Amino acid sequence: MDLLNTLVDKGLRRELPTREEALAVLATSDDDLLDVVAAAGKVRRHWFGRRVKLNYLVNLKSGLCPEDCSYCSQRLGSKADILKYTWLKPDEASQAAAAGLAGGAKRVCLVASGRGPTDRDVDRVSETIRTIKEQNEDVEVCACLGLLSGGQAEKLREAGADAYNHNLNTSEGTYGDITTTHTYADRVDTVQKAHAAGLSACSGLIAGMGESDEDLVDVVFSLRELDPDSVPVNFLIPFEGTPLAKEWNLTPQRCLRILAMVRFVCPDVEVRIAGGREVHLRTMQPLALNLANSIFLGDYLTSEGQAGKADLDMIADAGFEVEGADQVTLPEHRAAAAGGGCGSHESAGCGSVCGSHEGANGCGSHADADGCGSHAGADGCGTASAAANEPRPDLVAVRRRGAGTDLAPNA
């Protein structure tokens, strides 16, 4: 297929595809799907080999967010039966992080619900970052606290944060349809503040909210322009009790096309499969590793994920390997541009490699708004009898373990 050959050539040269080419990827047929995956896989392997970076979420403060992001289980007015608790203490957060690191995670993503942090909140999170770094050698830390005010990104970096996550979520043209309490421009401003402070910028999207192909291409092209080091791709979890609870628009094939399009547009960037992979990719998750080079391990912010051991087995069975703490995530030209390697932990506050997370559906302020990924039990798949595009609320399970509880985490 001439389109795919062109896109591979452009990806290997870091050349931006045209909007028409990106739209054409989303419009390919199921008969061509494996060809699309194989083509995007060439680009992924060129820049990242067969390494898969593991990230682990710690929800520092859950629920009761004043923002009205329609996709979020922690939103204002949410009736979702999620865990609600105030700030974890630094030692509690460090203990939660240690569980993910023991399971093979390289990065810990610290997330808190809310519009944005107060200066006191930044001081609190800074203490948590220092505690985690003192107690866990060679860990990357990414913060996701919502909209930043002047000087806050610099304080987080001084405390040892490697990255900051804040997703654009959807196109500028449709942003007002999902959130009214802050603007698309507010989000862009926060990503720029993080970047300017020397933090590795992490910013991604949420697919499955009823957006068009044009909306998806718009937001991915906007992300390319912002130039984050990490792009998390979240697939909406239609959480009961949220305005988008009935939006079951994704199939595994659709998810794979979206990931391929993101890879072609952002060839040398860490592309992470974030919230919703277990719910929407289901048994196709291993195939998606040919497109993305990063995933979350275990549970998400307010929903359960695939068992950590199942994630590790999936990676090995698909012929990939877990990225080690001594390996730099990003290609050399990206790591060098940021002053060398937070991916290899050569610099505590470096703003390079890092990935990001936002867990899953990144709320207007905090991170995974809708509680992200969910699980489907240990194997993360759908049942054999379910149609590919049939709603699967049985795969959405509220997190009842890990951070904020007395039960062991799923890592």
Beta carbons of 93 and 132 less than 8 angstroms apart: yes
Instruction: State how far the alpha carbon of 43 is from the alpha carbons of 85, 90, 153, in Å.
Output: 42, 40, 32
Q: How far is Cα of residue 319 from the mean position of the Cα atoms in its chain?
A: 22
What is the rounded CA–CA span in Å between residue 349 and residue 338? 11
Instruction: State how far the alpha carbon of 130 is from the alpha carbons of 154, 195, 226, 328, in Å.
Output: 15, 21, 28, 22
Beta carbons of 402 and 410 less than 8 angstroms apart: yes
Cβ partners under 8 Å of residue 89, min gap 6 = none
What is the rounded CA–CA span in Å between residue 72 and residue 81? 12
Q: What is the DSSP string of 314-379?
A: HHHHTT-EEPPTTS-SS-HHHHHHTTS-GGGTSSTT--SS-----TTT--SSSS-TT-----SSSS
- Binding site for [2Fe-2S] cluster, by residue number, is 109, 142, 202, 272
Going by the DSSP 8-state scheme, the letter that residue 289 receives in this structure is T
What is the rounded CA–CA span in Å between residue 85 and residue 83? 7
- Binding site, by residue number, is 65, 69, 72, 109, 142, 202, 272
- Binding site for [4Fe-4S] cluster, by residue number, is 65, 69, 72
